Every structure is written in C-alpha cells, then in structure tokens.
Structure 1
Amino acid sequence: MPKTHYRADRHAGGRELVLLHSGRECIDTFDSYHPFSNRADKILAMYAVGKLMGGSEFPTYKPDTGLRR
C-alpha cells in the first residue's frame, strides 16, 4: 500500500477528506480546519516534496468583464 494511502487512513479527519482534496488547492479548507495552531503545518513540512507551478485549478476572470450591465 502506498505511503500516501497509509497516511490518509491515519488522518484525524478521515481518509475520505484527504482523498477528496488530494491533488487540489486546499489552503482555505486546511486553514478552516486548523485555524489556531501551526502543529499541522509542522507535520506537513516533513512530507513536502515540492511546490506546484502553474495557474489555478479553476479559471479566473477579471472583476469587470462587461457581461453584466
């Protein structure tokens, strides 16, 4: 069994929560579940393999596109 799944099974929030957010930008979700502690940040730092490069997972638009008048 890959280590990723082993760690997901041990996550306090449950395996499903980890798999739901895997491969996606989840900073806001992470911060909402861990708002007053940096303990989770310290644990995750041990498993960091790199930083994602590129754009957002979802398209972004200028605030005023002219579609609404």
Structure 2
Amino acid sequence: MTGPGSLAQRQEALVRALVAGGPVPSGFDPQAVAAAGEVCRHKRDAHAGSVRPRPAWWSRLARLRRR
C-alpha cells in the first residue's frame, strides 16, 4: 500500500474500515476488506456477549498512537 501518512495512520484507517464502517484505504481491494470486516465484526460481537461496546476505544487508540 502506498500513500501519504505514517504507518500508524494507515493502520488506523484500515482498522476503521474493518470494524467501524470507515472508507477503504487506497491500495486495498474493497471487496476483500468488506469480507474481512464482516468476520472481524462477527468475532467482536460474538466475544462481547452481553458486554456493551466501549465507545472510548478510538480515543484510547489515539492516545496509544501518540506515544
């Protein structure tokens, strides 16, 4: 994958596309990302059980990325 941004920014964009419905980063096959995202979301939901999703996850990721 080529394009602007640091590796961390490109990885974050891919994760957003996989689990949060974000746009597919350039250089990736949209159909493959959609299929992998469906699997990721299913696993996340299956393992979460009755635990509510944590909306603060992205802010924690951003804090880690700044380190």
TM-score if structure 2 supplies the norm length?
Answer: 0.30
**Which of 1 and 2 has greater Rg?**
1
